[in-house]
Amino acid sequence: MPNDKPYQTLSDEQLMRQMATGCEWSFAELYDRYSERMHRYFYRMLGQDAHRADDFTQELFMKLVEKTAYFDPERRFSTWLYAVAGNMVKNEYRRLSRQQVPPAGDDFYGENFTEDFDNQVFAEHLHQALGELDESQRQCFVLRYQEELSMKEIAEIMDCPEGTVKSRMFYTLKKLGSKLRAFAGVL
C-alpha cells in the first residue's frame, strides 16, 4: 500500500531542506507538527492570552517562510524553532516592561483552600506564580513540564550549560512550591 503522505516519514531537518526549494507540502507538514506546541508555548509565556498566542504563532511561521535560509541544518529543528520563539517572547517582555505592568499581589496566596477548589483555581494560581518568576525561570519551567523537553534541549534553546539549567530548574521548583504552599495538600 503506497504511503499517501510521504512527508510524514521525513525528519524535521529533511523537511526544512525540502522547504528551502519551495516545497509547500514540507512546510505544511512542519506546521502541523509544531503549530500547536508553539501556540501553547506562547500562550503560557505571554500571560495565557489566546489571541496574542495566535498572533505570535503566525509571526513565527511567517519568519520560517521568509528566513528559511537562516536555518543551520547542523542544528536540531525543534530547538532552533523554540529558540526563535524564545527570542520573540523576550522582545515582547522588553516591550511590556516599558509599559510597566503591575505585578500580582502576594496576598493572593494567603487564602485557605479546602476540598472544593478545582483545576481552574489551581491553573489560575499557577499562572500567577509563573508570572512572578523571572523570564529565564519561567522559560525553563514551561519548556520542561509543558513541552517536556530534556535538560540538554533546554540548554541548547537557552544557550547556556546544562548544569545551569538544572540548578535553575531546581530553584524554580522550590520557589513555586513555596508560592503555592496553600495547595500543599493537593500538591
Partner 1 sequence: MALRNCFINEASMKKTPPKVTTYLSHVPLIKLLKMKRLEKIDIEQLLAERPFELLTATEQAAVLAEMPEWEYSRLHQLVLRSKATMRQSPKPDPAIRERVLEALRKQPKPTATTPAKTGLLVRMVQYRIPAWQAAAAVVLLLVAHFSQQKQASETLHTETVYVNTTDTIYKEVALPVTDSSNKKPKLRVNVKPRLAKRTMPPDDVAAAYADSSYRRRQDGFTELPDTLPGFQFTVQQPSGRSANEMKDLWQLLGEVY
Footprint on this chain of partner 1 (rule: CB under 8 A)? 20-22, 24, 27-28, 31, 35-36, 39-40, 43-44, 48, 50, 53-54, 57-58, 61-62, 64-66, 112, 114-115, 119, 122-123, 126, 141-142, 145-146, 148, 151, 166, 169-170, 173-174, 176-177, 180-187
Our CB check for partner 1 shows the closer of 102 and 185 to be 185
Nearest approach in angstroms of CB 165 to partner 1 is 10
Helix 24-45 / helix 50-66 crossing angle, nearest 10 deg: 140
Question: What are the CB-based long-range contacts (under 8 Å, 24+) for 51-59?
Answer: 56/85, 56/88, 56/89, 56/92, 59/88
Residue pair 90/41 in contact (Cβ under 8 Å)? The answer is no
Nearest approach in angstroms of CB 107 to partner 1 is 16
177: nearest Cα among 187, 185, 167, 169: 187
Our CB check for partner 1 shows the closer of 8 and 97 to be 8
Our CB check for partner 1 shows the closer of 40 and 90 to be 40
Look up residue 125 and give its three cell numbers: 494560581
Nearest approach in angstroms of CB 82 to partner 1 is 15
Our CB check for partner 1 shows the closer of 93 and 122 to be 122
The angle formed by the CA atoms of residues 167, 164 and 136, to the nearest 5 degrees, is 90
Residue pair 153/78 in contact (Cβ under 8 Å)? The answer is yes
Nearest approach in angstroms of CB 33 to partner 1 is 12
Our CB check for partner 1 shows the closer of 11 and 178 to be 178
Nearest approach in angstroms of CB 103 to partner 1 is 20
Identify the helix (H) or strand (E) that includes residue 159: none
Our CB check for partner 1 shows the closer of 14 and 146 to be 146
Cβ density class 127-145: b for 16+ within 10 Å, e for less: ebbbebbeebbbbbbbbbe
Nearest approach in angstroms of CB 4 to partner 1 is 19
